[in-house]
Structure 1
Amino acid sequence: MRKLLCINSSFNNPYINLATEEYLLKNTEHDIFMLYSNTPSIIIGKHQNALSEINLDYVEKNQLKVVRRLSGGGTVYHDSGNVNYSWIMHGEQGKIIDFKKYTDDISVYLQSLAVHATRNKNNDLLIDGKKISGNAEHIFKNKLIHHGTLLFSTELDKLTNAIKVDLNRFKDKSVQSKRSRVTNISYYLKKDISIQKFCQGLLNFIIAKYDNAIEYQLSKEQLGFIKQLSTEKYNSWDWNFGYSPKYLFKKELQVQNNTVSISLYIKKGKILDIEFVGNFFNDEEISIFKKNIIGIKHRKADIQKIVQMESFKVIFNKLSRENILGLFF
């Protein structure tokens, strides 16, 4: 009989936890129920444009990790007050997608705490019309991963700031997040409990409900493969940013009563072409830009290196390095 392995992850690293999900999806014969929390981070859907989903200045200032997950859907914010749950289940191809099935257990557990949650058409869980859980699914062969967030005591102001973006700068066909009003589960509890007790209670609920459920800890061998996947994929710029669909980025800057606007054409995270509008630069200066910028990654560290080059010196009589860098993000 196939077991349901119930795991309460001791890691709070989003690279590790998302790598764990993928490893278990592709390398286990049993079903899985897993809980984990991450340090402050932004988790984007597989088919999203990372830069158009995050507040880059806020992310850099607060040293947030940005990680792309396996499943589609929208962007979510994680911190130590958010609980993530994952079902990794076998099923019949063509019939395996089932958001109701995997969110119902969560709703029933919340009901046992006298918290009433409902599911909307987007498969979010709501309390009083406010979102406490976003959910997504991904199929691998005859297996499914269903994972979701549970906002327990998340710092909601930081959540809002981390994903506040100017969509007018981006034009693409990526999946865009739908912003929702949010709230925390802890606000609705009749008596205070810690997030640790909330998690253990949920784990105990699942184990009690399913006859084949057992608590499980990952082996050293499994952890070795997971850490390797974490390093090679989930902690890589190529996956988290370079995997974004192709997009057009535009930005305008006012300097010394002059206007300069830039258009960047990006594919697989790299700048394919660049255009300027306005009379701020002459043809020679634009040629210098293009020669040095085309082909590099749309990443601040890479562009910063280019801006420091001596060949840009002629431009700095008109525009500072900070202004040039600011045009690109």
Structure 2
Amino acid sequence: MTTMMVTRYMKIKLQFCQRLHTWNHLRKHYTTKSGDLVFVSLSNDIFMNLAFEDWLYENENLKTKSILLMWKNNPTVVIGRHQNPYLECDVWKIAKNNLSLARRKSGGGAVYHDEGNLNCSFIKDRSLYNRYRNLDLVVEALSSRWNIDLSINTREDILLDGFYKVSGTASKLGRNTTITISPLYLIPMSMVGVHSRATQSLKSRVKNLSDSIPGVTYDSLVDVIGHQFLKGKKNMDNFQFINPSEAQFPGLQKIYNELCDWEWIYGRTPNFSLTRHFAKNLEYYIEHQITINVNIEKGRISKIDIETNFNEIYLKIRPLIQEHLIGTRFWFNDLQMSLDTIKQESRHFGEIELHSWIVSCLSKILCV
């Protein structure tokens, strides 16, 4: 072994030992307390809170403890792992208003989060998985402090006065660990002709707890639910307020970056298609008809089929449509840019009114 190779080996070994020392020090500070833990995140960033939840799920030894993570976010729409965001909310409106849209790693439906919304993540060993028991803990906690009528229905939602939904659930089951999320408390895009197998949310009549508990606050809910989770435990001091960071939890930033990525939020959308028919009287009052079918796979347009009663003229613009839309991300700015290019370049073929109408039909089916 050469001197250079030995030096490199010693350097790598030293870096590994330093990381291991830091890792052990951090884990000793945060996770070696015996008994169950309650973490309350001080971050209002949806992506950081979801990343911290996933970090705990992947790294904690849940054979020896269960964890309750509580958190709230700035205004955000959160969808389930297997959902189509375009069917659950007005994606373009969210983007234009600088709101966040996040995709959980767990299943379940779409929910709206803001700072008046408490999220409870029960992170446990797989052998302890019981969604009803987690919800019952929340019901017992709230009922112990306030005189309200809460119950759990067959869909495992928490109902107020037997009718109004105040919390739902979503779960992620691993080989050895589980997460059950209970958000205590959407307007979809007006897309026509959508065909999708994605999991769609069920609309429910909802109500805020503050309507029945005047003066209730986020802090009071955190307090009562957190102590109910630790009830009967010897270590009631295992109640930690924490601002998650990479320095505290190595690997957290990587998870955060993955959850923020367009490919995760939109690229993971289950395949779907759009189909619409259009008709319009143009030159010489002749009715022109067009049927457009668009397939979207992994968040990108994969195929466009167009049928018309004026094929000879359409065939001139068809190559432009295929060239500029196939492979394009199903995203407002990308789609608008492609349509503008098609409209501009199609002017060279004449039939400007007809080609402009075709582009207009494409714009409508793509909701741009």
TM tier, shorter chain?
0.7 to 0.9
Evaluate the alpha carbon distance shift between residue 311 and residue 185 of structure 1 in structure 2; reply closer, same or farther with a 3 A threshold: closer
Q: 2:273 aligns with which of 227, 238, 248?
A: 248
Matched with 1:172 is: 196
Matched with 2:147 is: 114
Return the alpha-carbon distance in structure 2 between the equivalents of residues 107 and 140 of structure 1.
26
Matched with 1:264 is: 294
Identity within the alignment, %: 25
- The answer to whether the 8 A contact 1:126-1:133 is kept is yes
Matched with 1:159 is: none
Evaluate the alpha carbon distance shift between residue 290 and residue 99 of structure 1 in structure 2; reply closer, same or farther with a 3 A threshold: same
Matched with 2:167 is: 133
Q: How far does residue 36 in structure 1 lie from its aligned partner after superposition? A: 0.6
Deviation digits for residues 84-141 of structure 1, max 9, x if unmatched?
Answer: 010100132xxx4411111011000111211221111111111120110010111122
3-state DSSP of counterpart to 2:231? helix
Answering whether residue 104 of structure 2 is matched by residue 69 of structure 1, we say yes
Work out which of the two has the higher radius of gyration on C-alpha atoms and give 1 or 2.
2
Q: How far does residue 269 in structure 1 lie from its aligned partner after superposition? A: 1.3
Evaluate the alpha carbon distance shift between residue 39 and residue 314 of structure 1 in structure 2; reply closer, same or farther with a 3 A threshold: same
Return the alpha-carbon distance in structure 2 between the equivalents of residues 125 and 171 of structure 1.
31
- The answer to whether the 8 A contact 1:54-1:164 is kept is yes
Any gaps of 5 or more consecutive residues in structure 1? 152-161
Matched with 1:328 is: 366
Matched with 2:263 is: 238
Matched with 1:100 is: 132
Q: How far does residue 219 in structure 1 lie from its aligned partner after superposition? A: 6.7
Matched with 1:156 is: none
- The answer to whether the 8 A contact 2:86-2:188 is kept is no
For structure 1, which segment, 205-214 or 102-111, has the greater mean C-alpha deviation from structure 2 after superposition?
Answer: 205-214
Report how many aligned residue pairs link the two structures: 314
Evaluate the alpha carbon distance shift between residue 206 and residue 305 of structure 1 in structure 2; reply closer, same or farther with a 3 A threshold: same
Q: 2:183 aligns with which of 149, 164, 168?
A: 149
2:169 maps to a residue whose letter is N
1:180 maps to a residue whose letter is S
Q: How far does residue 46 in structure 1 lie from its aligned partner after superposition? A: 0.8
Q: How far does residue 41 in structure 1 lie from its aligned partner after superposition? A: 1.1
Matched with 1:154 is: none
- The answer to whether the 8 A contact 1:41-1:65 is kept is yes
Deviation digits for residues 36-58 of structure 1, max 9, x if unmatched?
Answer: 11111111111111211112343
Deviation digits for residues 23-70 of structure 1, max 9, x if unmatched?
Answer: 110011142101111111111111111211112343234322111111
3-state DSSP of counterpart to 1:264? strand
Return the alpha-carbon distance in structure 1 between the equivalents of residues 91 and 143 of structure 2.
38
Q: How far does residue 326 in structure 1 lie from its aligned partner after superposition? A: 4.0
Evaluate the alpha carbon distance shift between residue 169 and residue 97 of structure 1 in structure 2; reply closer, same or farther with a 3 A threshold: farther
2:230 maps to a residue whose letter is I
For structure 1, which segment, 301-310 or 178-187, has the greater mean C-alpha deviation from structure 2 after superposition?
Answer: 301-310
Evaluate the alpha carbon distance shift between residue 219 and residue 38 of structure 1 in structure 2; reply closer, same or farther with a 3 A threshold: closer
Matched with 2:230 is: 207
Deviation digits for residues 221-260 of structure 1, max 9, x if unmatched?
Answer: 34453233112x1111111111111111234567776665
Matched with 1:51 is: 86
Q: How far does residue 202 in structure 1 lie from its aligned partner after superposition? A: 2.3
Structure number with higher helix proportion: 2
1:175 maps to a residue whose letter is T
Evaluate the alpha carbon distance shift between residue 165 and residue 328 of structure 1 in structure 2; reply closer, same or farther with a 3 A threshold: closer
Evaluate the alpha carbon distance shift between residue 219 and residue 71 of structure 1 in structure 2; reply closer, same or farther with a 3 A threshold: closer
3-state DSSP of counterpart to 1:193? coil
Q: 2:123 aligns with which of 88, 95, 99?
A: 88
Q: 1:227 aligns with which of 246, 253, 260?
A: 253
3-state DSSP of counterpart to 1:118? strand
Return the alpha-carbon distance in structure 1 between the equivalents of residues 279 and 118 of structure 2.
44
1:120 maps to a residue whose letter is N
Return the alpha-carbon distance in structure 2 between the equivalents of residues 255 and 10 of structure 1.
56
3-state DSSP of counterpart to 1:319? helix
